[in-house]
């Protein structure tokens, strides 16, 4: 069984369709990229997959997450799935963090809720989670989000997302807001954690160089539809859709990444 099976997913608001027909599936441990121009429905797709769409939007179609139907499910049915099955890392880490809660407590929360850790065991799991994202200094656990740099905040968001040991990590433009060197460090971290834990990755980005580095297969969205799908090298070497071709033409660094990927395969 697939870890994630999306079939005919649509999302609409009162004024009309926003996502029209999206289908793809993801096997355990597989890394899939979703690309597409701004407004093509990437973020709404990732929110629909985890049942986190705002109340004003309605999803239809089918999203089977580890065999559980997400479309139309109640929040109480979805909550138990969110920690262990799918987690989202948002574009702007501040949206994922509680400004009024110390970082250590925010990491402790999913460890307590989903893994049932308490007391000394919980404290050492929080320290280990911070260590895993290279934030081992004790002052970080005691800090509030506004006391950290953008790169540190994104590492904290990743630690929270991964705390309950999900099988699937959903990353929606996780590094867009970061400086290039910090971006590279965060991507390297995500790559390492995904590989070490054998997690599946749904990686959303408009940056082809980043996507080709992070995933094996790509889905291209345009105006809420899947317009292209295939292995990274296949889609990016022989783009069929005019939109994909335009992206490829503008991504001058792409060949270097593809060559490096093939040399490493
Ligand atoms: N809460 C909402 N209510 C109404 N329309 C929305 C809402 N959220 C998003 N949309 C619309 O749905 C469409 C898809 O939005 P989405 O956020 O999925 O785009 P995206 O592909 O993630 O774009 P970007 O690359 O800019 O992040 C857009 O036209 C957007 O304006
Ligand atoms: Mg988006």
Which pLDDT tens digit goes with each residue over 23-47?
A: 999 999 999 999 998 899 999 999 9
Please state, in angstroms and rounded to a whole number, the distance separating the CA atoms of residues 110 and 116: 9
Domains defined for the chain, CATH in brackets: 4-94+169-264 (3.40.50.300)
27: helix, strand or coil = coil
Please state, in angstroms and rounded to a whole number, the distance separating the CA atoms of residues 29 and 180: 27
DSSP labels, 88-130: EE-SSHHHHS-TTS-HHHHHHHHHHHHH---HHHHHHHHHHHH
DSSP labels, 33-89: EEEE-TTSSHHHHHHHHTT---TT-EEEEEEEETTEE-TT--HHHHHHHHTTTEEEE
Order the strands of the 16-26 sheet from edge to edge.
68-69, 58-65, 4-13, 16-26, 225-231, 217-222, 31-36, 200-204, 168-172, 86-89
The whole-model pTM stands at: 0.89
Highest mean pLDDT among 93-102, 190-199, 237-246: 190-199
Nearest ligand for residue 42 CA: 1
The pLDDT-based confidence of 95 (bands split at 50, 70, 90) is confident
Number of C-beta neighbours around residue 57 at 10 A: 15
Q: Which residue's entry shows tokens 């109480």?
A: 76
What rounded mean pLDDT belongs to the chain? 90
The pLDDT-based confidence of 83 (bands split at 50, 70, 90) is confident
Q: Identify the helix (H) or strand (E) that includes residue 172.
A: strand 168-172
pLDDT at 85 over 60: yes
Residue 16 Cα to ligand 1 middle (Å): 12
Q: What mean pLDDT do residues 140-158 have?
A: 93
Of 2-11, 59-68, 156-165, 236-245, least confident by mean pLDDT is 236-245
Can you say how many angstroms the Cα of residue 60 is from the centroid of all Cα atoms in its chain? 21
The pLDDT-based confidence of 91 (bands split at 50, 70, 90) is confident
Please state, in angstroms and rounded to a whole number, the distance separating the CA atoms of residues 152 and 182: 9
- Is the C-beta atom of 80 inside 6 A of ligand 1? no
Highest mean pLDDT among 1-10, 83-92, 201-210, 241-250: 1-10
Residue 19 Cα to ligand 1 middle (Å): 9
pLDDT score recorded for residue 37:
87
- Is the C-beta atom of 104 inside 6 A of ligand 1? no
Residues with CB under 5 A from ligand 2 (ion): 42-43
């Amino acid at each position: 069984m697939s870890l994630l099976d999306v079939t005919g997913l649509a999302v609409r608001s009162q004024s009309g369709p926003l996502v029209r027909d999206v289908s793809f599936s993801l096997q355990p441990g597989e890394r899939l990229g979703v690309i597409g121009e701004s407004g093509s429905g990437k973020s709404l797709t990732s929110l629909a997959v985890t049942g986190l769409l705002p109340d004003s939007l309605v999803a239809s179609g089918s999203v089977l997450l580890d065999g559980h139907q997400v479309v139309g499910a109640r929040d109480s049915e979805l909550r138990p799935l969110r920690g262990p099955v799918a987690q989202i890392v948002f574009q702007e880490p501040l949206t994922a963090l509680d400004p009024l809660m110390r970082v250590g407590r925010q990491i402790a929360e999913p460890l307590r809720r989903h893994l049932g850790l308490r007391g000394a065991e919980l404290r050492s799991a929080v320290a280990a989670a911070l260590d895993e994202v290279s934030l081992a200094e004790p002052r970080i656990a005691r800090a509030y989000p506004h006391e950290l740099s953008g790169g540190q905040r994104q590492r904290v968001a990743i630690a929270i997302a991964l705390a309950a040991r999900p099988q699937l990590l959903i990353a929606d433009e996780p590094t867009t807001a970061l400086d290039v060197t910090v971006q590279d460090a965060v991507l390297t971290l995500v790559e390492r954690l995904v590989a070490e834990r054998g997690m599946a990755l749904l990686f959303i980005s408009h940056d082809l160089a980043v996507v080709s580095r992070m995933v094996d297969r790509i889905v291209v969205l345009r105006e809420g539809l899947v317009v292209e799908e295939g292995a990274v090298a296949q889609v990016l070497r022989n783009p069929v859709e005019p939109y994909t071709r335009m992206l490829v033409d503008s991504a001058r660094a792409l060949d270097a990444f593809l060559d490096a990927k093939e040399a490493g395969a």
